[in-house]
Amino acid sequence: MFKQQLDLDHEKSIMLCICKRVYACFCASPKLEESFCKAKNIVHVSVSDEKVEKQSKIYTVVVEKVLKGDKDALSKLTKLKTGQSSASCGISLKTGEKYLVIVTINDGEMSANSCSNIQINDKKAVYALMQNPPDAKVCEKYSKQ
């Protein structure tokens, strides 16, 4: 009996793990002023439609105002591509709403992600930023970081 118990104590266990690939997005949330200063392209857009294609969401937008970047080029663009979910660093926009978005230009299409974007729910702060953006002296401190 003692021998049987001893044999059981020495049995090896095998653990089988069937895992799917897991994606996650994590990034620091800089202050509104810092995001504005470091961005190359910032647009104020209104969203008119949303489509899901593969792993992306593609929003149809109208560029209401270009705060930073090439005004002629940005104002002609009508598509904004982002990740399908927050796990893939996508941003979530609602049809009929207006947003201030930091974008990059790829193949004639705007793209945005949550890591490079202005994360703010305070519409008053966004409006204030649009009316009075930080000047070059203010932004200079962020370029040294």
Give how many domains the chain has, as a whole number. 1
Residue 83 maps to a domain: yes
Spatial separation of the C-alpha atoms in residues 67 and 36, rounded to whole Å? 9
Residue 118 maps to a domain: yes
Residue 133 maps to a domain: yes
pLDDT band at 8; cut points 50, 70, 90: low
Residue 50 maps to a domain: yes
Structural domain harbouring 98: 32-143
pLDDT digits (tens, 9 = 90+) for 106-142: 888 899 988 877 655 567 777 787 788 888 888 888 8
What are the phi and psi torsion angles at 67 (to 5°)? -85, -35
Residue 110 maps to a domain: yes
Residue 137 maps to a domain: yes
Q: In angstroms, how far is the first alpha carbon of the chain from the final one? A: 70
27 in a labelled binding site: no
Assess whether pLDDT exceeds 70 at residue 92.
yes
Spatial separation of the C-alpha atoms in residues 35 and 70, rounded to whole Å? 18
Q: Which residue has the higher pLDDT, 130 or 76?
A: 76
pLDDT digits (tens, 9 = 90+) for 41-66: 999 999 999 999 988 999 999 999 99
Supply the CATH number for residue 42's domain: 2.40.50.120
Residue 135 maps to a domain: yes
